[in-house]
Amino acid sequence: MSVSKSDFNYIRELVLERSAIVLDDGKEYLVESRIGQVAETEGFGTIDQLVKALRKNSHNGLQSKVIEALTTNETSFFRDIHPFETLKDAVIPELLENRKNERRLNIWCAASSSGQEPYSIAMVIRENFPVLLDWKIDFVASDISETMLNRCRSGKFSQLEVNRGLSAALLVKYFEKEGASWFIKRNLQEMIHFQQINLSRELPYLPKMDIIFMRNVLIYFDIETKKRILNQLISILQPDGFLFLGAAESTINLDSSFERTDYKHSGCYRLKR
């Protein structure tokens, strides 16, 4: 399905306004394929008709469907591996010491996509830190997309998904197979609270976080939005907390309150003292 210049611009503005995701010139093909798909499943013959309905706001939930269709949900278990090793070898051990009186830990995974990332964190905890079973763990995983959040909540993964980045030992320990699908076990699922949070808006109330994973999502935003989000994190992150960004992301030139830690290839940042 083809998209006219004006329809492309309309969709681009809508997506920017609602999600802060930037669609550069030349991304017409993306709109054609992904929004063409939405137009089809929603019963519009053309993208033009879909945009007319968007303009009139006559079609309930259509905006969200368009925005969700333009998010990129690529993820995998233990993606890039190093952040999870740093979590296990350095971050959680330090926090165990620093929080031994309160015995509580707050974790936020801020673009959880289909759930591989928060469940990887949950497995690191279960597998290595049995003492945390007696602590109060507040673990929030969020995304803009309700479709993705529902996938997270279902804890359901395909064979291809469990093939990627997940060790066989963890697969047999923490998953159950039903037909062709793999389900994460209840006790891991119950560790995490899934909630919709749009990072481009003012953030809802969140407790002070010890660990924030915000990986591979800032890359979709413009510089001002990145700055605004990082700036909000300053007050959400505990002074001795840890922020993980994606391998291609950094706070450099965006926010001078953070500094990169020495943990290799982990994208792990802390607030400057």
Ligand X SMILES: C[S@@+](CC[C@H](N)C(=O)[O-])C[C@H]1O[C@@H](n2cnc3c(N)ncnc32)[C@H](O)[C@@H]1O
Cα 179 to chain center, whole Å? 28
> Shortest gap between Cβ of 169 and another protein (angstroms)?
6
Q: Which residue is nearest to ligand X (CB)?
A: 75
CB 95 within 8 A of CB 105: yes
Which C-beta is closer to another protein: that of 81 or that of 133?
81
Distances, alpha carbon 81 to alpha carbons 78, 101, 166, in Å: 5, 30, 10
Pick what 163 binds: another protein, ligand X, none; C-beta below 5 to 8 Å, kind-dependent. another protein
In total, the chain counts a number of residues equal to 273
> Shortest gap between Cβ of 266 and ligand X (angstroms)?
13
Which C-beta is closer to ligand X: that of 215 or that of 226?
215
248 binds another protein (CB under 8 A): no
Token code pair at residue 87 = 């979590």
Cα 204 to chain center, whole Å? 16
CB 54 within 8 A of CB 66: yes
Q: Rounded to an integer, what distance in angstroms lies between the CA atom of residue 198 and that of residue 143?
A: 7
Pick what 256 binds: ligand X, another protein, none; C-beta below 5 to 8 Å, kind-dependent. none
Read off φ and ψ for residue 59, nearest 5 degrees.
-125, 105
Query: Which listed residue (43, 100, 136, 172) binds another protein by CB under 8 A?
Result: 172
Coil vs helix vs strand at 77 = coil
Give the x/- contact pattern for another protein in 132-171, rule: CB under 8 A. ---------------------------x--xxxx-xxx-x
Query: Which listed residue (8, 44, 78, 258) binds another protein by CB under 8 A?
Result: 78
Token code pair at residue 204 = 């809802």
CA dihedral 208, 214, 219, 225 (to 10 degrees): -10
Q: Rounded to an integer, what distance in angstroms lies between the CA atom of residue 102 and that of residue 136?
A: 9
Read off φ and ψ for residue 138, nearest 5 degrees.
-105, 110
Give the x/- contact pattern for another protein in 81-100, rule: CB under 8 A. x-------------------
> Shortest gap between Cβ of 103 and ligand X (angstroms)?
28
> Shortest gap between Cβ of 215 and another protein (angstroms)?
16
252 binds another protein (CB under 8 A): no
Residue 205: DSSP 8-state:
P
Token code pair at residue 206 = 């969140």
Pick what 36 binds: another protein, ligand X, none; C-beta below 5 to 8 Å, kind-dependent. none
Which C-beta is closer to another protein: that of 4 or that of 167?
167
258 binds another protein (CB under 8 A): no
Q: Which stretch binds another protein (CB under 8 A): 31-39, 73-81, 101-109, 251-259?
A: 73-81
Binding site for another protein (CB under 8 A): 76, 78, 81, 159, 162-165, 167-169, 171-172, 175-177, 180
